[in-house]
Structure 1
Amino acid sequence: MAERKKVLVAGATGVVGLAAMKHFASEGVDTIAISRRTPRQTYGASHVSLDLLDSDACAAFAAEHGDITHLVYAALFEKPGLIAGWREADQIDTNDAMLRNLMQPLLQSARSLKHVSILQGTKAYGAHIRPIETPAREDRSEVEHENFYWKQEAYLREVANGAHWSWSIFRPQIIFGEATGAAMNLIPAIGAYGALLKEKGEPLHFPGGAHAVLEAVDADLVARAIAWAGDAEAARDQIFNVTNGDVFTWRGVWPSIAAALGMDVGKERPMQAGAWLESKSDAWAALAKKHGLTEPDLKALLGESHHYIDFTMGSGLEGQLPPAIVSTIKLRQSGFTEVIDTEAMFAKWFAWFQAAGYLPKP
């Protein structure tokens, strides 16, 4: 007889949370998803609107859901403008409080809790502030700096000490998925940039600056890794880097992105693409009306993701940046071995956004 499982996904409108909700619900697992915004589609999961900064609301929710066996904590608070907030004390404290507000009452009510997964990222290695080791490894490459990761991790270790449940922490690289209005999802941001150029009869100009070798990860792949960890003995109380399994450069994948958008490759035209997109709300609304798109509000489509374009593409910088590469050997040797070609991933997600009506069809 299969063991009963009920999964709680926190942050159901984020890139990873949405993918996790979709994965578990589509597999027929009893899934409840929480977020402040309502997902466009829940894939069969039950959704509850919940503000994780409201401790009383979290306590009331936990009291009604004592049958949770797995928690996927993918909730995230980011400030407007994105990058500057990563090291600011109020953002760190807010993310710490959100996890505690949910977990403290849940630990009292969920007596059958088996596993908790939380998300960090390669900022654990200081990738946003300095060159990192190549490759960065989970057991020896962390960089001491201001980050909410450490507060959340310390709390998780504290409450798990002597408990009957285990935890896993995932550190994905640049994540790509189907979420809209998210803090960091470059698919709608690049897609909107391309669509606005195409509407003017222009090719897909490359807006980046400095060269860098990077790694990506498909949100669906992260979701499957989280599902694996929830039941794998080798994942108990472990930290894992997770990537697609290959490397990429923005210039290298740009022709594939252009093809997915039905465009020719344009010139190298260094610019602050995020600021450019912020000025195109009216143009996007007109384009959305013309093509009958699902989301005419550009801000609602992008969230803070347009700021992420400039950061990841090295806008305003010149030359060669140090590579940002992490080792995924630990994850593979522990038993999760899935990979996806990064160019295939881009094709997959742009096709999804086109089919869902968020981007014009090529």
Structure 2
Amino acid sequence: MERPFQAIVTGATGINGVAIFPERVRHHSIDLIQSSPEQIAEKLHKNGVTNITYAFYAAYKEESNEVDMCKTNGTMLKNFVLGLEKSNSRSLRRVVLTTGLKYYGLQFGASRLPLEESDGRIPEDFSGHPNFYYTQEDILKEISANKQWDYVIVMPSTICGASQGSFMNHIFTIYLYAIICKELNEPFYFPGNEKLYMGFDDISYSVLIADFEVWVSQKREASKELYNIVNGDVHSWSKTWPKIADYFNLKVPKNQFNNWSSLSDKMNLSTPPPLKLHQEKLGLRDVSNSEIINHMSLSKWVQQDKVKKAWKQIAERKNLEPSLLDAGTWKFTDFTLGKTYNVVASMAKARKLGYHGYYDNFQAFKETFDTLKRGKVIPS
């Protein structure tokens, strides 16, 4: 007889975690870095966290470099899974790990498109950098060997979603940018470049990610497989950005990419792009390093006195936390919107498995904005 669905979610207050079970939850605080597997098992047992059949791992800790990212996030995952296994060995069936499209090396530049799960890893001797997603995958492979439980790895693109107190996404930052533009009565420039604006870029809505993860957790044939999860819409910022402007009653300026200013920024990525791995096979020559171009860098824009003054006025008028402006992921959003290369991930593998979930990209943005307003995280 199949055991009932009983789940545990790590990182349950984050954008990914909160979307999986937003209501029917009991919260427990466990330090996944400092606690040993034995201590985690003891605490889970003491708190009555038993008969767990599915674990959804969405915990994450930022570090200053990739080596430390591998060490910290690898340690967290290993401690948790070993602790869960000790305390729920008879019931545990599957661990679902959330990683991302950085698996394909998008942080290094252009990749061969569409991104497919069979593409494989970016060799460290090529990139010069480790990847903590690979570390986590290896840990799950090792621990799950010859066990009654297995794992699935889910890889979203840039995430759209909302969570109280968690602002690790560019949607929140775009919201801050928009309401300050409105306060200053200034046009709503796309911060990136014309190439990306007219190109294609994938988005993953946290609600869709959660839906897929719960679905795939129960598919036996998904065992030890990796799956992309993106909204499935053909997304171009040239379509989405004007809709965001309309949402805030702002205007996208004409000829917005014509003028360079002190707020502009341009950076050549130091690592060769993953596309270079395939240049010979594709008949390409001299694939050069990718660029990040921001005709208006948000990380520069937010440092302006007028912007800080505008935010102070908004915060005082709406009784908001003054430091909220610093919570914006300004540099991350510069990178995300400053890419000069397309990002298109294939959903064919999930579709063949039987998953047909889909989300309109602007609808995902709108729902996220509305959620942030209802939660009074930012002003309406």
The TM-score range, normalised by the shorter chain, is 0.7 to 0.9
Identity rate of aligned residues, in percent?
31
Q: CA deviation at 1:155?
A: 1.0
Residue of structure 1 equivalent to 2:57 = 73
Cα distance in 2 between the residues matched to 1:187 and 1:130: 22
Cα distance in 2 between the residues matched to 1:281 and 1:191: 15
Residue of structure 1 equivalent to 2:7 = 7
Compared CA separation, residues 313 and 156, structure 1 to 2 (3 A): same
Cα distance in 2 between the residues matched to 1:137 and 1:130: 16
Compared CA separation, residues 69 and 17, structure 1 to 2 (3 A): same
Residue of structure 1 equivalent to 2:118 = 139
| Matches for 1:1-362 after TM superposition, within 5 Å | 3-22=3-22, 43-56=23-36, 58-64=40-46, 65-79=49-63, 85=64, 88-111=66-89, 112-145=91-124, 146-182=130-166, 184-212=168-196, 213-266=200-253, 268=256, 270-277=295-302, 283-293=310-320, 295-298=321-324, 301-302=327-328, 305-314=329-338, 321-361=340-380
Q: Which has the larger radius of gyration?
A: 2
Q: CA deviation at 1:278?
A: 5.6
Paired letter, 1:10: T
| Conserved 8 A contact 1:261-1:350 | no
Deviation sequence 1:213-241 (CA, Å, 0-9, x none): 21111100000001001211232221101
Deviation sequence 1:164-221 (CA, Å, 0-9, x none): 1121101111110012554631121100011111111223222212522211111000
Cα distance in 2 between the residues matched to 1:114 and 1:197: 49
| Conserved 8 A contact 1:229-1:236 | no
| Conserved 8 A contact 2:101-2:156 | yes
Q: CA deviation at 1:351?
A: 1.9
Q: CA deviation at 1:301?
A: 4.6
| Conserved 8 A contact 1:66-1:106 | no
Cα distance in 1 between the residues matched to 2:299 and 2:230: 25
Residue of structure 1 equivalent to 2:265 = none
Residue of structure 2 equivalent to 1:35 = none
SS in 2 for 1:248: coil
Greater mean deviation of Cα atoms: 183-192 or 330-339:
183-192
Paired letter, 2:68: D
SS in 2 for 1:204: coil
Cα distance in 2 between the residues matched to 1:278 and 1:52: 35
Aligned residue pairs total 327
Compared CA separation, residues 281 and 105, structure 1 to 2 (3 A): farther
- TM-score, normalised relative to structure 1: 0.83
